Amino acid sequence: MHIAMYPWFAFGHITPFLHLSNKLAQRGHRVSFLIPPKTESKMRHLNLFPDLITFYPITFPLVDGLPSGAETTNDVPFSLISHIMTAMDKTQAEIQLLLRDLKPDFVLFDFAYWIPKLARPLGIISLHYSIVCPAATACHAAPSSHLHSLKGRRASEADIMKPPPGYPDSSIYLHLHEARDHLTMTTLKLGGVPLFDRLFMSLSECEAIAVKGCREIDGPFVDYLKEEFGKPLPLTGPLIPDLPTSPLEQRWVDFLGRFKPGSVIYCCFGSEVILTKGQFQELVLGLELSGFAFLAALRTPVGAESIDEALPDGFSERVGGRGVVHGGWIQQLRILKHPSIGCIVTHCGWGTLLEALIMSKGQLVLIPNRGDQIHNARLMANTFKAGVEVEKGEEDGLFTRESVCKAIKTVMEEDNEVGKGVRANRAKLRELISREEFDSSHIDGFIHELRTLLK
């Protein structure tokens, strides 16, 4: 089979599309990966099958207001992300020509809602590839969701706080500050099209919805989405990438090697989350207050020039050799695999959560930031009771150093009764989804469903 890929211009989307490409190429299938030109060079090292996965650099359109050289959301502040989407929408004519010339059997996309109308006349099957947790998609993007089903009026905060009719899990809900932020996102226009309208059109117009998930975690939400949209939902499984061949950097080997197994906190907030300086300081002060050794991989916060400048006064001297706050790229899979890691403080990105569940035995402390991260956190903390969510203010949504410390101690202190239950549930969940054949069986099943769509 021949599959084309066209992900949203964000590393958090491009990377899982490429992980799926590698899994498909490993089984002999050909992949044409459509990608902005400068971004291609940054992703080339993740292409494990260059004989079968071909990058096709597309012309990045000029858009007023975008800085020269910007191609992805990583290159611009949040205020300019809409311009990146405008650029993507302006590639329609080039994508149409590429699809006509390449003649793939399938094209997988996410935010480019116009792909199905280009693909259909060419006899190409289009699949929306959802890299977020199905619980989030089911809550806010399905036809029965409050954003689409309320006739004649705009959804209110009270509407958004509760799940839609028929939603399979009442323990997944939004707090007031989350509902307020969510309503703000409904008015956010990306390339002139509201975000949730774009997502809804993408899901509605495609022939099938591919989902990064598995029945063991996502079963009820997959069934709900299948009923809501009335189309196939092939599952790719968690798609954890293979460990890189390069060993862990010596500085991290030396640092982590000084501590007992299961005694270090790894704090990671992904490539997209940028905290305010105040919340950044509360987070690192919470790590310090816990008394445990820690390694934090965070982006420089808003309003600061560097990580060092953003750290609280006297922080580096106080934590000495037991704590590091790192602002650059880090070998996350290798870090998660290290035996010293006993706790993972995470922003709850779906990819990071799945990696943490499968690659590490560390306990989960959950600090969702926005969007689907909230549903991911509730799924782990409320549905599976396999992690502890950090308490935030109901009105302002802010966490404190004390709430961060409390959550860490809950999962890390052996005599904590709540922690005992969480650790047991976390171990059960890991055992369920980390079997050696788990990932490969899902990919094989996904390929079988693609073949079925071709018939």
Please tell me which residue in 29, 83, 89, 110 is annotated as part of the active site.
Answer: 110
Question: What pLDDT was estimated at residue 387?
Answer: 96
Do domains 2-241+437-454 and 250-433 share one topology? The answer is yes
Question: Which run of H or of E encompasses 87?
Answer: helix 81-89
Among 41, 10, 32, smallest CA distance to 110 is for 10
* pLDDT for residue 290 is more than 60: yes
Active-site residue identified among 13, 29, 338, 375:
13
More confident position, 51 or 352: 51
Superfamily classification of domain 250-433: Glycogen Phosphorylase B; (3.40.50.2000)
Confidence class for position 144, pLDDT limits 50, 70, 90: confident
Q: Which stretch of 176-190, 300-314, 371-385 has the lowest confidence by average pLDDT?
A: 176-190
Residue 300's CB: how many other CB atoms inside 10 A? 17
Share of the chain above pLDDT 90, in %: 72
Mean pLDDT on 137-160? 72
What is the reported pLDDT for 274? 87
Residue 110 and residue 130 in contact, taking contact as beta carbons nearer than 8 Å: yes
pLDDT band at 192; cut points 50, 70, 90: confident
Instruction: Measure CA 333 to chain center.
Output: 15
Mean pLDDT of 65-88: 91
Give the pLDDT score at 150: 52
pLDDT of residue 167: 92
pLDDT average, residue stretch 198-215: 94
140 is catalytic: no
For residue 294, the model assigns a pLDDT of 97
Instruction: Assign 276 to helix, strand or coil.
Output: strand
pLDDT tens for 398-429 read: 999 999 999 999 999 988 999 999 999 999 99
What is the DSSP pairing of strand 189-190 with strand 193-194? antiparallel
27-to-384, 400, 443, 446 alpha-carbon distances in Å:
33, 48, 9, 12
Answer yes or no: 444 catalytic.
no
Q: What is the DSSP string of 5-31?
A: EE--SSHHHHHHHHHHHHHHHHTT-EE
The predicted model gives 361-387 an average pLDDT of 94
Residues counted in the chain: 455
- Alpha-helical (H) ranges within 108-175 are 115-119, 134-140, 146-149, 157-161
The mean-pLDDT minimum among 238-242, 256-260, 320-324 falls in 238-242
Does the pLDDT at position 133 exceed 60?
Answer: yes
Sequence-distant (6+) residues with CB within 8 A of 389 are 365, 366, 367, 368, 377, 378, 380, 381, 407
The predicted pLDDT at position 239 comes to: 86
Residue 366 has pLDDT above 70, yes or no: yes
Helices (H) and strands (E) in the chain, counts: 21, 14
pLDDT of residue 271: 75
Separation between Cα atoms, residue 81 and residue 74, nearest integer Å: 9
CA distance 246 to 44: 15
Mean pLDDT is lowest, of 179-183, 299-303, 369-373, 433-437, for 433-437
Mean pLDDT of the chain: 92
297-346 pLDDT, tens digit each: 999 999 899 999 999 999 999 998 899 999 988 999 999 999 999 999 99
| Pairwise CA distance, residues 412 & 82, whole Å | 41
Domain boundaries of the chain, sorted by first residue: 2-241+437-454, 250-433
The pLDDT of residue 149 is above 60: no
| pLDDT tens-place string over residues 22-46 | 999 999 999 999 999 999 999 998 9
More confident residue, 341 or 147: 341
CATH class in words for 2-241+437-454: alpha beta
Question: Which pLDDT belongs to residue 151?
Answer: 56
